[in-house]
């Protein structure tokens, strides 16, 4: 069964706690926190302080996706704030190996992230050290975008690479995930689906989370 990671980018910023509690009680497996700096992507969101504030109110693993330039400047702060997973974009730094190693030195799971236009060849050298690979299925920066179906072969390729036994990583997908798209990413090999607007912009977030889980295995 696919794991579901609701993204708080689509939650109620004024009062996040009820949305987080609803997500957890509804069967969410992780909580996805989108961190944006206005440089790497054209939007601003959360910092380490938000992660630190969320940590005491949920037992869900905190999945922090850093959409920021030169993330190695901040990975330590996010790890110390309580992140369980920290994802960094291969496009955001010339020192991706260093950034990932810094995350792992804190005992936190390290994730490498690929934008839609980035080939898998860009991350092959770091696959042996990552715990997770995040495939963006929209262009990063904003929620509520349309799923890019051309990313399915990329998920399949990653899945094939870990079948060799040389690499052991989870595959996460982020962008445009709904009950209509989750089945295709799960069949392609995805283990975790990030869903923001589909979950939090609905009248019944719990039902939406469960729908993603059941539709994935339909």
Residue-wise pLDDT for 77-128, tens only, equals: 999 999 999 999 999 999 999 999 999 999 999 999 999 999 999 999 999 9
Q: What is the dihedral of CA 156, 2, 172, 164, to 10 degrees?
A: -40
Mean pLDDT score of the chain: 94
Residue-wise pLDDT for 164-196, tens only, equals: 777 899 999 999 999 999 999 999 999 999 999
Tell me if residue 174 is catalytic.
yes
- As a whole number of angstroms, the distance between CA 153 and CA 174 comes to 15
- As a whole number of angstroms, the distance between CA 157 and CA 70 comes to 27
Catalytic residue chosen out of the listed positions 19, 29, 131, 174: 174
- As a whole number of angstroms, the distance between CA 131 and CA 100 comes to 10
Q: Which domains does the chain have, with CATH numbers?
A: 3-216 (3.20.20.70)
Q: What is the pLDDT of residue 216?
A: 79
Q: What is the pLDDT of residue 174?
A: 94
pTM (2 d.p.): 0.95
Tell me if residue 191 is catalytic.
no
CB 159 within 8 A of CB 118: no
Catalytic residue chosen out of the listed positions 34, 63, 131, 191: 34
């Amino acid at each position: 069964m696919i794991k579901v990671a609701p993204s708080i980018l689509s939650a109620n910023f004024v009062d996040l706690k009820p949305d987080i509690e609803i997500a957890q009680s509804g069967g969410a497996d992780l909580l996805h926190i989108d961190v944006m700096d206005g440089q790497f992507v054209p939007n601003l969101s959360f910092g380490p302080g938000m992660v630190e504030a969320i940590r005491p109110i949920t037992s869900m693993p905190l999945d922090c996706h850093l959409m920021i330039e030169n993330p190695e400047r901040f990975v330590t702060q996010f790890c110390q704030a309580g992140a369980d997973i920290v994802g960094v974009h291969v496009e955001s730094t010339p020192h991706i190996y260093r950034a990932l190693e810094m995350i792992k030195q804190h005992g936190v799971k390290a994730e490498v992230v690929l934008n839609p236009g980035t080939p898998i060849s860009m991350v092959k050298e770091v696959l042996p050290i990552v715990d997770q690979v995040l495939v963006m299925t929209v262009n990063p920066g904003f929620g509520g975008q349309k799923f890019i179906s051309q990313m399915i072969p990329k998920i399949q390729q990653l899945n094939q690479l870990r079948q060799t036994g040389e690499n052991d990583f989870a595959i996460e997908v982020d962008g445009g995930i709904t009950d209509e798209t989750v089945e295709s990413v799960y069949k392609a090999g995805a283990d975790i689906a990030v869903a923001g607007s589909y979950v939090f912009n609905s009248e019944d977030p719990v039902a939406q989370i469960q729908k993603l889980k059941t539709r994935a295995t339909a």
